Amino acid sequence: MLILNKTAGVFFKPSRRKIYEFLGSFHFHPGKLFLHKLVLGIETSCDDTAAAVVDEAGNVLGEAIHSQTEVHLKTGGIIPPVAQQLHRENIQRIVQEALSASEVSPSELSAIATTIKPGLALSLGVGLSFSLQLVDQFKKPFIPIHHMEAHALTIRLTNKVEFPFLVLLISGGHCLLALVRGVSDFLLLGKSLDIAPGDMLDKVARRLSLIKHPECSTMSGGKAIEHLAKQGNRLHFDFQPPMQRAKNCDFSFSGLQHIIDKMIMQKEKEEGIEQGQILSSAADIAAAVQHTVACHIAKRTHRAILFCKQRGLLRPSNAVLVVSGGVASNLYIRKALEIVTNATQCTLLCPPARLCTDNGIMIAWNGVERLRAGLGILHNTEGIRYEPKCPLGVDISKEVGEAAIKVPRLKMKI
């Protein structure tokens, strides 16, 4: 048996005593009988070390998560070697906690599912090598997981949602619209051509120094913008939604971010303050930024719904739009999307907040979905590699753009 040396971050062959210590740290229940298959999910693609045990019926038996957000907030962004080190320091404890909470011993697992793509190379590597050791040690099947597919299918754990459905993933690292036709059958309709909306909101919040704001000091950038926006008047600033002429479902946020940066610089001059101090108009800027981002996301999503309906890819009525990712917890953006789904006779669904952001449950659940469908279950892990870059499904975004669907104007009265 090999175990992870927490400080060195490497696996080593321990003494027999250490093996008993490690195995003894799990709560074994040898007499217990599980009716369902059990999957351990492990997630380390970005800045969360997470693990969970989920059964075939979708019951979450145990979970644990270690978030690195606080550390990365201090450095103003994720530094990959720092993220890697933190994953190394926490993965064994997190997996152990998830297993202990579930009262499942590793030998009772049906499979181990782990995110292997896409994500930060250094982060993915920690989860993969730890998982492969477990797989080898307990002789379990391995299920490699695509992080975005896992986000997209999470809704089927909490709601009865049949294929096909549309999914919008918006977070700090993701921004895409896809049609989900099956467990591993995705059509990519559009994605961000530059940065993700959460990344942009984080950058604007940093530029506005919201971390120094007494009400926002512990919030992520996006959450701080949502919080301050409630106190501001969006009409004091007029930012145009990006890509208004491009009749596709792609997104762009960095141009808008630069326009906002310039505006902030100008306001600092007008107010006679230094960069790093909080503008008196910060709340108005936050409100205008949030509104513009919401309108941009809503418009692209509206076009995706119309495209899918036009091509018979979605039911004409009662089609489902799932919104997930950290930015999906923004209630203003959700309201904008609700206006779109009401106008197109769709149902808007959103997983609970803790399942919208990165977690181990979604990985374990994706493992369950794959186990049930008999897709991608490996009994030999030789040659398995992580893939930092990996598209989601079949990219039909060009076809979507060629259809050039004109989206009717909706009144965004939020």
| Site track for Zn ion across 308-347, x = CB under 5 A | ----------------------------------------
Which one of residues 127, 144, 172, 401 is an interface residue with ligand KG4 (CB under 6 A)?
172
Give CA–CA dist 399/401, Å, rounded.
5
| Site track for ligand KG4 across 76-115, x = CB under 6 A | ----------------------------------------
Give CA–CA dist 306/328, Å, rounded.
21
Give CA–CA dist 181/164, Å, rounded.
4
| Least distance to ligand KG4, CB of residue 345, Å | 27
357 in Cβ contact with 171 (< 8 Å): yes
Q: Are strands 346-349 and 319-324 parallel, antiparallel or unpaired?
A: parallel
Of the two residues 149 and 358, which places its CB atom closer to Zn ion in the complex?
358
Give CA–CA dist 340/272, Å, rounded.
41
Among Zn ion, ligand KG4, none, the one that 220 touches (CB under a kind-dependent 5 to 8 A) is: ligand KG4
Residue range at the interface with ligand KG4 (CB under 6 A); choices 108-116, 194-202, 229-237, 299-307: 194-202
| CA-to-CA separations, 58 to 18, 155, 321, 332, in angstroms, rounded | 34, 11, 21, 30
Sequence-separated (6 or more) residues with CB below 8 Å from residue 409: none
| Least distance to ligand KG4, CB of residue 234, Å | 15
> What burial letters (b/e) apply to 2-34, b meaning 16+ CB within 10 Å?
bbbeeeeeeeeeeeeeeeeebeeebeeeeeeee
Contact status: 167 vs ligand KG4 (CB under 6 A): no
Which one of residues 97, 226, 250, 369 is an interface residue with ligand KG4 (CB under 6 A)?
226
Contact status: 370 vs ligand KG4 (CB under 6 A): no
| Least distance to ligand KG4, CB of residue 194, Å | 15
Contact status: 220 vs ligand KG4 (CB under 6 A): yes
Of the two residues 203 and 303, which places its CB atom closer to ligand KG4 in the complex?
203
Of the two residues 232 and 401, which places its CB atom closer to ligand KG4 in the complex?
232
Which one of residues 47, 202, 284, 358 is an interface residue with Zn ion (CB under 5 A)?
358
Of the two residues 127 and 401, which places its CB atom closer to ligand KG4 in the complex?
127
388 in Cβ contact with 118 (< 8 Å): yes
| Site track for ligand KG4 across 232-261, x = CB under 6 A | ------------------------------
| Least distance to ligand KG4, CB of residue 326, Å | 2
Give CA–CA dist 288/4, Å, rounded.
48
DSSP classification of residue 277: B
Which one of residues 201, 204, 260, 336 is an interface residue with ligand KG4 (CB under 6 A)?
201
| Least distance to ligand KG4, CB of residue 237, Å | 18
Alpha helices in 155-278 (DSSP H): 155-158, 197-207, 221-229, 254-271
DSSP H or E segment with residue 176: strand 175-182
Which residue in 91, 94, 95, 106 sits closest to 28, CA to CA? 106
Size of the site for Zn ion (CB under 5 A): 1
| Least distance to Zn ion, CB of residue 356, Å | 9
Helices (H) and strands (E) in the chain, counts: 14, 13
Site for ligand KG4 in 302-341 (CB under 6 A): 325-327, 329-330
Contact status: 358 vs ligand KG4 (CB under 6 A): yes
Give CA–CA dist 42/57, Å, rounded.
19
Contact status: 66 vs ligand KG4 (CB under 6 A): no
Peptide bond into 164 cis (omega under 30): yes
Among ligand KG4, Zn ion, none, the one that 222 touches (CB under a kind-dependent 5 to 8 A) is: ligand KG4
Among ligand KG4, Zn ion, none, the one that 39 touches (CB under a kind-dependent 5 to 8 A) is: none
Which residues sit opposite 275 in a β-bridge? 277
Give CA–CA dist 353/86, Å, rounded.
24
Contact status: 222 vs ligand KG4 (CB under 6 A): yes
Among ligand KG4, Zn ion, none, the one that 252 touches (CB under a kind-dependent 5 to 8 A) is: none
Chain contacts with Zn ion (rule: CB under 5 A): 358
Positions touching ligand KG4 (CB under 6 A) are: 46, 171-173, 198-199, 201-202, 220-223, 226, 325-327, 329-330, 357-358
